[in-house]
Amino acid sequence: MRGNKVLSSRKKWLLVVFLLIVILSYVFASMTVWTTDSRLLTYSRYSRVACHRDVIAGNSVAPDQFRFGIYYLIEYFFKNIPLKWYDINNQYLSRLLLEEEAWDEEFRRSFDLFFSVEERMSILNVINENVDNLLSSVFGENQLIKNILKANIQSLKIEEYAMDPARLILTVGSHIPEELKNYLIDDTEESRIYYGHVTARFFFSIVFFILLYFFTENFAGPYSSLMAVLLFAGLLPFATQDFLQAETMFSLSLFTGSLIAIYRKSAFATMISLVLLACTARTDHALFIAVIYSLYQMSDKSNLKRLDNWLKIAVLVLVPLGFTVVLSRVLFPEAQYYLNFFQYDFNLNNIWSLVYPVILLSIPAVFTPLAWKIPFYKSTWLWVVPFIFMNFMIGRTSEARLLLPVLVYCLPFVVKGIEDLAGKLSLN
């Protein structure tokens, strides 16, 4: 009976954790719509869709083309889920450009309060003065040509448009080409692709947080494991600058799932499957999954004498390296990097490439001494050094998302350390 009560409590706890994870994931995905994907208004949406279509066609730039896995999932699954997201900036712009009903009495009154007729006419007078000065500087005393040009300018009815901005903006909207207008309208293929990207981000955020919780539970209690989820969720917006990449949450999910498989010493078939999947997201992450697996296997001295174990390690390491060669030389040889391959010069001359990593990893650094007391970390921590070095050399570390795998790896001993400190405080 007592065992059944414990099991029931466990189920209720996990249900609460799952509910929190879904809410956190929805808030995060929504936040990225308002900030990252609407940063340049409709152009951000256009850029996202154009990149998606290029990857599906096999014509994109590197490294996006090499991270095709998530794009295929979006193309053939996520974009078909009828889930829309509140893209307030794009929807607002769309209504003002395309719907006369948007310019109702309430909105016109608000517009006039924030941008009065007097201000508009003042700006128009400044424009007219500048036009007069420009014409005088070009045509001098030739009054005939100046009058002809000014008459042509006046024929544009700029003053009428200044008095009636709705007419101006709706006129602009009516002349937008159909292929561009599709990015403003919700019920189009372009919007389905865009919403598919956000839905995939939402789904894999849920998957990732669940995996992070269970990974942390291997080292700390349930409350601390939930703390790890909340701590990561609090830091995650920090990694959304520079146009959050499509594969970020997908790759993090595979990386975290692989950490669980490594710690629990799952079957080699599971490990090779995870590495292969990770190769479709980021081959560098796949490589370091193999490195962590190798370090953990070699920590058991009995494994050092087994040939089959060395063969497994070799296969696991060679898969991402071979995948990289196949992607760049065989499947997509035309894909060119849109930035220089080496970025260390940029990082050395950009203060944020130093500040952001320090901020992101400062909390793990505080609790690093505790890691030496945990066998898993004591045997595997070495991968962190080449990983950070590699990203400093060929990535822009001001993009804090590049270092998220390190944060995932470190969070269990961080919350374990916080748990131990809290325990000591309660004893005092």
Closest listed residue to residue 123, CA positions, set 151, 153, 161: 161
Is the model more confident about 263 or about 132?
Answer: 263
Q: Is residue 180 part of a domain?
A: no
Q: What is the 3-state secondary structure (H, E, C) of 93-137?
A: HHHHHHCHHHCCHHHHHHHHHHCCHHHHHHHHHHHHHHHHHHHHH
Does one domain contain both 133 and 239? no
% residues pLDDT > 70 (the chain):
95
Domain boundary among the residues 115, 147, 174 is at 174
Are 311 and 235 members of one domain? yes
Instruction: Examine residue 63 and say whether the peptide bond preceding it is cis (omega within 30 degrees of 0).
Output: yes
Is residue 113 predicted with pLDDT exceeding 90?
Answer: no
Q: Is residue 90 part of a domain?
A: no
Q: What is the pLDDT of residue 154?
A: 67
Q: Which residues pair with 337 in a beta bridge?
A: 62
What does the pLDDT look like over 340-373, one tens digit per residue?
A: 889 999 999 999 999 999 999 999 999 999 899 9
At 366, list the tokens: 């505080």
> What is the C-alpha to C-alpha distance for residues 190 and 327, in angstroms, rounded to an integer?
27
> Does residue 221 have a pLDDT over 70?
yes
Q: To the nearest 10°, the Cα dihedral for 137, 141, 142, 146?
A: 50
pLDDT band at 125 (very low <50, low <70, confident <90, very high): confident
Q: CA 185, CA 84: separation in Å to the nearest integer?
A: 12
Average pLDDT over residues 10-14: 93
Strand partners, 62: 337
Residues ≥6 apart with Cβ < 8 Å to 391: 397, 402, 403
Q: What is the pLDDT of residue 9?
A: 87
Q: Above 90 in pLDDT, residue 247? A: yes
pLDDT of residue 192: 96
Quick check: 2 pLDDT over 70?
no
- Residue 362 has what pLDDT? 93
Which of the four pLDDT bands, split at 50, 70 and 90, describes residue 186?
confident
Question: Do residues 263 and 169 both lie within one domain?
Answer: no
CA distance 83 to 183: 17
249 and 312 in a single domain? The answer is yes
Q: What are phi and psi of 337, to 5 degrees?
A: -70, 130
Residue 242: the pLDDT is 74
Report the distance separating Cα 113 and Cα 273, nearest Å: 61
- Give pairs for 260-265: CB < 8 Å, separation 24+: 260/211, 260/214, 260/215, 260/218, 262/289, 262/292, 262/293, 262/296, 262/380, 263/215, 263/218, 263/296, 263/376, 264/218
Are 227 and 375 within one domain? yes
Q: Into how many domains does the chain fold?
A: 2
Per-residue pLDDT, 121:
80
Instruction: Return the percentage of the chain with pLDDT > 90, whole number.
Output: 64
| Token couple for 363 | 């909390």
Do 160 and 208 fall into the same domain? no
The answer to whether residue 182 sits within a structural domain is no
Domain boundary among 174, 204, 224: 174
Does the pLDDT value for residue 163 go beyond 80? no
At 238, the pLDDT band (50, 70, 90 cuts) reads confident
Q: Evaluate whether residue 6 is within a structural domain.
A: yes
Structural domain contains residue 305? yes
Lowest-pLDDT choice from 172-181, 319-328, 419-428 = 419-428
Residues 150 and 194 both lie in one domain: no
- Structural domain ending residue among the three candidates 113, 144, 174: 174
By CB neighbour count within 10 A (0-12 exposed, 13-18 middle, 19+ buried), where does 177 fall? exposed
Task: Please check whether residue 423 lies inside any domain of the structure.
Answer: yes
363 and 250 in one domain? Answer: yes
Q: Mean pLDDT, the chain, as a whole number?
A: 90
pLDDT of residue 6 exceeding 80, the answer is no
User: Which is higher by pLDDT, 66 or 113?
Assistant: 66
Other C-beta atoms lying within 10 Å of the C-beta of residue 338:
10
Residues 127 and 273 in one domain: no
Does residue 170 share a domain with residue 59?
A: no
Residue of 250, 338, 252, 238 whose CA lies nearest to 35: 238
Give me the torsion for CA of 161, 164, 167, 169, rounded to 10°. 80
Same domain, 168 and 200: no
Alpha-carbon distance of 80 to 269, in angstroms, equals 31
Q: Are 105 and 164 in the same domain? A: yes
Q: What is the span of the domain harbouring residue 367? A: 2-79+189-427
Q: What is the pLDDT of residues 133-149, one digit of tens each?
A: 777 787 777 777 767 77
pLDDT digits (tens, 9 = 90+) for 24-64: 999 999 999 988 888 877 888 999 999 999 999 999 999 99
